[in-house]
Amino acid sequence: MTKDLIDILQISREEIDELIAKAGDIIEQPDVYAHKCDGKKLATLFYEASTRTRLSFESAMIELGGSVIGFSSATDSSVSKGESVADTARTVECFADIIAMRHPKEGAPYVAANNVDIPVINAGDGGHNHPTQTLTDLLTISREKGRLDNLVVGCCGDLKFGRTVHSLIAAMSRYENVKFVLISPEELKIPEHVRTEILEKGHIDYEETDSLENAMPNLDVLYMTRVQRERFFNEADYLRLKDTYILTPDKLTYAKYDLSILHPLPRVNEISVEIDKDPRACYFKQVRYGKYIRMALMLKLLGVD
Amino acid sequence: MIIGTIVDGLVIDHIPAGRGMELYHYLRLDRLQCEVAIIKNATSQKLGRKDIIKIGEVIELDQDILGFISPKITVSVIRNGEKVGKMHPELPEKISDVIRCKNPRCITSIEQELRQVFKLTDRETATYRCIYCDTKAPKQKF
């Protein structure tokens, strides 16, 4: 495995399967892992706000016996004085054993990784990559469905700016007989590079539709996404598109009894709160799985068995 | 039009028509003290129209830049009025500090000291992408 995790495509299917197996072992016997990272320090360098991802990384390291340093917004760090990403990373390397970085600009964690010897994990760089979310999604699907192959996966909502969808498609395209149903309004369709370079080049079965109701009966997994205000330059476009798809109990009447509903969270209103009680809703379990897969990943990158 | 023959120097031929000046700047030929001639829109059997650059001195040229502009470019080496070699630059795996990433969300948009590097991601379609944000480079017209 590479020193860092910047893009999910850096790691092979076998390495992903290994991480999923390790996370499963951590879930089964957490006590065995409680002191694996005693004395290790994780630096969480978060240049933009995040609740789930930062707390997930931090609790993952704490549950491995390690400790955490870092900052949770750019204003709390030397970046407000004009320090470059490379210099911040070099400084933090003197204090920490591993870095998790979130940054609004695409490629910032790659710059950090190229300037330090310790592992760097991309915890989200703008609308670009968020590999630990993808690992979380894969672990969730694997645990809930018992497999990552032979599935019909529906991706619904903002497929244009939704980086988690792009990475999920890229990762799941490596498994046999996975079909994608891409549900979005015209303006938020999957980008051309995902369609041509992943789906068409890999001869992956997919269809595009704007109807969630029509797609629903065939889905094994429904991956809902939020229309993200922060990805729009134009507020009017955001307001026009934000309520396009809202998952309600009515729409679920067409779904399979064993459908798994995922969402990278936070949600705004795209999944009705009434769905939360439905056994098919997996999105809060998904958050918990996120901690376990990050534990597995940090163990791997730190070379701890 | 008559351009004098070269005794010692280089002839960069089969440059896509209209891109000679661009290549002149990328190769930083403005720094040379020797004679440099740019011929625009010359007739070509292969390309219809092409640009040509003649340099009155044998110098090292960045083959990556030449290959990036077009893998159809050829470079002939002239010594004592005779052609003694011909190079065929290929599409490079990476191209540095030639083109800039236009994605306003890319880290290079705020950190000016970073090198502008694009990597070849599809040789068949000659597609290059920014190594930081994966934004596709503008398509080169061969």
Strand residues in chain A grouped as ranges (E): 41-46, 67-71, 98-103, 120-125, 151-156, 178-183, 206-209, 221-224, 260-262
3 state DSSP class of B115: coil
- pLDDT value at residue B125: 87
Residue ranges per structural domain of chain B:
9-87, 94-130
What is the separation, in whole angstroms, between the first and last Cα of chain A? 14
Report the pLDDT averaged over residues B77-105. 93
Q: How far apart are CA A171 and CA A11, in angstroms?
A: 9
Q: For residue A74, give how far its alpha carbon lies from the nearest alpha carbon of chain B (Å).
A: 14
Mean pLDDT, chain B, whole residue set: 91
Quick check: A130 and A104 in contact, CB under 8 A?
no
CATH architecture of structural domain A8-129+290-301: 3-Layer(aba) Sandwich (3.40)
User: Locate tokens 């979380």: which residue?
Assistant: A136
- pLDDT value at residue B138: 85
- pLDDT value at residue B1: 59
Q: How far apart are CA B68 and CA B16, in angstroms?
A: 12
- pLDDT value at residue A206: 97
Query: Which residues, in sequence order, are CB contacts of A248 under 8 Å at separation 6+?
Result: A272, A274, A275
Instruction: Note whether B106 contacts A106, CB cutoff 8 Å.
Output: yes
Q: Per residue in B24-63, pLDDT tens? A: 999 999 999 999 999 999 998 877 899 999 999 999 999 9
- pLDDT value at residue A86: 96
Q: How far apart are CA A152 and CA B50, in angstroms?
A: 52
- Closest of B83, B122, B115, B86 to residue B101, by C-alpha: B115
Q: Give ipTM to 2 decimals.
A: 0.86
3 state DSSP class of A191: coil
* DSSP conformation letters of A215-255: HGGG-SEEEE----GGG-S-HHHHHHHTTS--B-HHHHTTS
- pLDDT value at residue B142: 59
Output b/e per residue, B103-123; b: 16+ Cβ within 10 A.
bebbbbbebeebebbbebeee
| C-alpha A270 chain-centroid distance | 18
At A181, give phi and psi (nearest 5°). -115, 115
Quick check: A216 and A253 in contact, CB under 8 A?
no
Q: How far apart are CA B133 and CA A199, in angstroms?
A: 20
Residue A146, both tokens? 């018992």
Instruction: Note whether B111 contacts A126, CB cutoff 8 Å.
Output: no
Strand residues in A159-220 grouped as ranges (E): 178-183, 206-209
Q: Best of B107, B127, B131, B136 to disrupt the A interface by mutation (most A CBs within 10 Å)?
A: B107
Number of C-beta neighbours around residue A49 at 10 A: 12
Q: How far apart are CA A5 and CA A132, in angstroms?
A: 8
Q: Which run of H or of E encompasses A286? A: helix A283-301
Report the pLDDT averaged over residues B76-97. 94
Considering the entire predicted model, what is its pTM?
0.89
- pLDDT value at residue A117: 98
The single-letter code of the amino acid at A256 is K
Instruction: Note whether A107 contacts B106, CB cutoff 8 Å.
Output: yes
Cα-Cα-Cα-Cα dihedral sign, residues A105, A109, A115, A116: positive
Q: For residue A29, give how far its alpha carbon lies from the nearest alpha carbon of chain B (Å).
A: 39
Number of C-beta neighbours around residue A261 at 10 A: 25
Q: How far apart are CA A27 and CA A140, in angstroms?
A: 12
- pLDDT value at residue B2: 62
The single-letter code of the amino acid at A224 is M
Instruction: Note whether B107 contacts A106, CB cutoff 8 Å.
Output: yes
Which of B103, B121, B136 lies closest to A106 in CB terms?
Answer: B103
Per-residue pLDDT of chain A (305 residues; tens, 9 = 90+): 889 999 999 999 999 999 999 999 999 999 999 999 999 999 999 999 888 999 999 999 999 999 999 999 887 676 777 899 999 999 999 999 999 999 999 999 999 999 999 999 999 998 889 999 999 999 999 999 999 999 999 999 989 888 889 999 999 999 999 999 999 988 889 988 889 889 999 999 999 999 999 999 999 999 999 887 766 678 887 787 777 789 999 999 999 999 999 999 988 889 999 999 999 999 999 999 999 999 999 999 999 97
Q: How far apart are CA A122 and CA A103, in angstroms?
A: 9
Give the angle subtended at the CA of B54 by the CAs of B49 and B55, to the nearest 5°.
155
Quick check: A147 and A170 in contact, CB under 8 A?
no
A169 to each of A24, A133, A137, A160, how far by Cα in Å?
22, 12, 11, 13
| Predicted confidence band of residue B141 (pLDDT cuts 50, 70, 90) | low
Which of A85, A104, A127 lies closest to B111 in CB terms?
Answer: A85
CATH architecture of structural domain A132-287: 3-Layer(aba) Sandwich (3.40)
Q: Is A184 exposed, middle or buried (0-12, 13-18, 19+ CB in 10 A)?
A: buried
- pLDDT value at residue B10: 95
Instruction: Note whether B108 contacts A103, CB cutoff 8 Å.
Output: no
Residues of B near A (Cβ–Cβ under 8 Å) read: 103, 105-111, 113-114, 121-122, 130-134, 136
May I ask the CATH class of domain B9-87?
A: alpha beta
